Chain A
Amino acid sequence: MEQEKNQSKVGIGAYIALAVAILFFSGLFMKVEGMKWLSAFDFTTLGGTFGTMKDPAKNTFIGAGGVSAKAGFLFALSLAPTVMLALGCLEVLTHYGAIRAAHKLLTPLLHPLLSLPGKTGLALITDLQSTDAGAALTKELYDEGEINKKELTIMGAWQYSGAGLINNYFAIGSALFSVLKLPIILPLLLMFGLKFAGGMFVRFVLNTVYKEDFKDEQ
């Protein structure tokens, strides 16, 4: 029964997909004279090449001149040590209370800048580390009636731009750290500041453009 159902679902799209798969893996597009762009649809070409030791004194195991999937794989692999180091250190510093201290420092800023109650501080700080945990805590605050819709939206704005900031920056952004022209803390501080700017902007818009929506909430 079920098999029949599945069989009846094979439409024109499925045959096109099969044709594309055959062409993609066939190697027919690899070297078409005068139409180099066709190789963009060729499996072997997109597999790419590893870099080579063009300058052994300077090249790492990634080599130089690699392209596409193979180059990307080796490059991503080269990031693993620093990502592990960064998250390991963050874990230790969190264990010794870095987050609790940040929470304490952040709380007095919440009301004047975002008109949020101090209780929201933990959810916001948590968002700096983990988007998902921050979101869960925020929902809890709303479900328990600690914040209203407007405050929820402002919290959402603060969290949404640059969510999981610290972990994402050190885990993913570290790929670019070696080429940055400024100390790596500067972009982080700027992003942190802009989270507040974004929250304040949303607060302003909610208080003006959407004023009617929140007439009943106080």
Chain B
Amino acid sequence: MSNNTNKTNNNPFDIFVIGARKGFTVATQNLLPNVLMAYTLSEILNLLGVMKMIGSIFGPAMGLFGLPGEAVTVLLTAWLSSSAGTGIAVSLLSKGIIDGTHATILIPAIFLLGSQIQYMGRLLGVADVPKKYWPLLMLTSILNACIAMVVMNILV
């Protein structure tokens, strides 16, 4: 049996299937619950009228990056989880609040500051990076995201 698996491990088709299985797990265990949560959350914000408020409050700041104010919800959610941030971006797209150009500006920022809360434990905690410098690293990520949005705004 173990011989058999060793053999099949070198077959590119089997390797592809292993990866595809990982992809299915990511899609169903990670993306699906997060996107469902993001869609529901953005509907709550919508029904409460908070979305419009956020839009007008953050309009000027987000305008610097060529984005509508509502786009700040994508960034704030991405900070908690990249999947959820992406989900919010998609739901804003489907509502017509942001368009493809805005999504292009947002996408690098989503991942540069993505899932910081989770990764504090999973990355900085595991690797034992001294806690004293965590805020510095977080600031760096946020700066990175801002730079990315400025650059994308120029490119797009």
Which listed residue (B43, B83, B86, B124) contacts A67, Cβ 8 A?
B43
Which listed residue (B23, B89, B152, B156) contacts A80, Cβ 8 A?
B23
Known contacts: A131-B122, A179-B103, A180-B100. The answer to whether A186 contacts B155 by CB under 8 A is: yes
A48 adjacent to B26 (CB under 8 Å)? no
B80 CB, nearest partner CB in chain A, Å: 13
A61 beta carbon closer than 8 Å to chain B: no
List of A residues within 8 angstroms of B129 by Cβ: 152-153, 156
Q: How distant is the Cα of A71 from the Cα of B129 in the complex, in angstroms?
A: 40
List of B residues within 8 angstroms of A36 by Cβ: 47
B59 CB, nearest partner CB in chain A, Å: 22
Known contacts: A187-B107, A198-B143, A202-B137. The answer to whether A87 contacts B40 by CB under 8 A is: no
B148 adjacent to A176 (CB under 8 Å)? no
A92 beta carbon closer than 8 Å to chain B: yes
Interface residue tally on B, bucketed by range: 35 or more
A122 beta carbon closer than 8 Å to chain B: no
List of B residues within 8 angstroms of A171 by Cβ: 23, 26-27, 30-31
List of B residues within 8 angstroms of A160 by Cβ: 116, 119, 123-124, 137-138, 140-141
A68 adjacent to B40 (CB under 8 Å)? yes
A90 beta carbon closer than 8 Å to chain B: yes
B65 beta carbon closer than 8 Å to chain A: no
B75 beta carbon closer than 8 Å to chain A: no
Contact with B along A149-175 (1 / 0, CB 8 A): 100110111011111010011011101
Which of A37, A39, A76, A202 gathers the greatest number of chain B CB atoms within 10 Å? Answer: A76
Residues of B in contact with A (beta carbons under 8 Å apart): 12, 15-24, 26-28, 30-32, 34-40, 43-44, 47-49, 82-83, 86-87, 89-91, 93-94, 99-101, 103-104, 106-108, 110-116, 119, 122-124, 126-130, 132-133, 136-138, 140-141, 143-145, 147-148, 151-152, 155-156
Residues of A in contact with B (beta carbons under 8 Å apart): 36-37, 39-40, 45-46, 48, 66-69, 71-73, 75-77, 79-80, 83-92, 95, 131-132, 134-136, 138-139, 142, 149, 152-153, 155-157, 159-163, 165, 168-169, 171-173, 175-176, 179-182, 186-187, 190-191, 194-195, 197-198, 201-202, 205-206, 210, 213
